[in-house]
Amino acid sequence: MRLLLVEDEEKMVSLLQRGLAEEGHSVDVCATGGAALERGLQDGYDVIVLDWALPGVDGVTLLKHWRAGGVRTPVLMLTARGTTPEKVTGLRAGADDYLVKPFDFEELLARLEALARRGEAEDGPVRLGALVLDPRRRVLRRGGREEPLTSREFALFSALARFPGEAQVRSRLLTQAWGPDFDGNGNVLDVYVGYLRTKLERLEVTDVSIRSVRGVGYKLAVSGDAPQ
Ligand code: CA
């Protein structure tokens, strides 16, 4: 398994890193919410282990952001916060499992393996007309041809593909692809829409397009919902 561990307590990090490495798993560590925000969007992980209390952005906020951005990687929250309302908050924010510290390493391992199996089964392709978005390999595919997407392109296309045919406001698309703290130049959105359009053209996709919606933002048009 390839795991992302988001945890700021050094002792916990070294304990988990050692234990998981001994089981043959590879572990990347983020010790702050800010670092984890970007890393989680890369979406190349089998499972994410997420602490709640972190410097910077907290775990629940991170999780909501990832889910809004189309990240479907299974997430296990590993936290000292063990009350029922806290568990409910974590699960409702998009956690797939919740384990309270202190915990038994064997139980954590078994839960992570179960989540990875489930993720493999569910992380299936999204079909839009003749076009397929494959989240697992992070590519757009049509017929036998593929265009790989960068993590940002993937996050943006996933946000558009979540509501095909519906206009989506620029601020939502920026938040989903660039994170809630984005305060740069919003023109970057148009630049990335341009990249995605080029990839659709290369695939000679005719039934899916990204349309500008004046005064709002963009929408993903799938043939039939907005003929032109
Ligand atoms: Ca912590």
Distance of CA 62 to CAs 17, 195, 207, 223, Å? 21, 26, 34, 35
Give the distance (Å) from ligand 1 centre to CA of residue 76.
14
Give the distance (Å) from ligand 1 centre to CA of residue 41.
21
Give the distance (Å) from ligand 1 centre to CA of residue 8.
5
Give the distance (Å) from ligand 1 centre to CA of residue 34.
14
Whether the CB-CB separation of 220 and 140 falls below 8 Å is answered with no
What are the residue ranges spanned by the domains of the chain? 2-122, 126-222
pLDDT of 227 reads 41
Give the distance (Å) from ligand 1 centre to CA of residue 94.
19
The angle subtended at Cα 36 by Cα 33 and Cα 40, nearest 5°, is 140
Give the distance (Å) from ligand 1 centre to CA of residue 88.
19
User: CA-CA distance, 76 to 88, in Å (whole number)?
Assistant: 13
Which CATH superfamily does the domain covering 2-122 fall into? Response regulator (3.40.50.2300)
pLDDT of 71 reads 84
User: CA-CA distance, 96 to 154, in Å (whole number)?
Assistant: 22
Strand partners, 217: 169, 213
Q: Give CATH for domain 126-222.
A: 1.10.10.10
Give the distance (Å) from ligand 1 centre to CA of residue 110.
22
pLDDT along the chain (228 residues), means of 10: 94 95 91 92 85 95 89 92 95 94 96 83 79 89 93 90 88 81 85 97 95 95 62
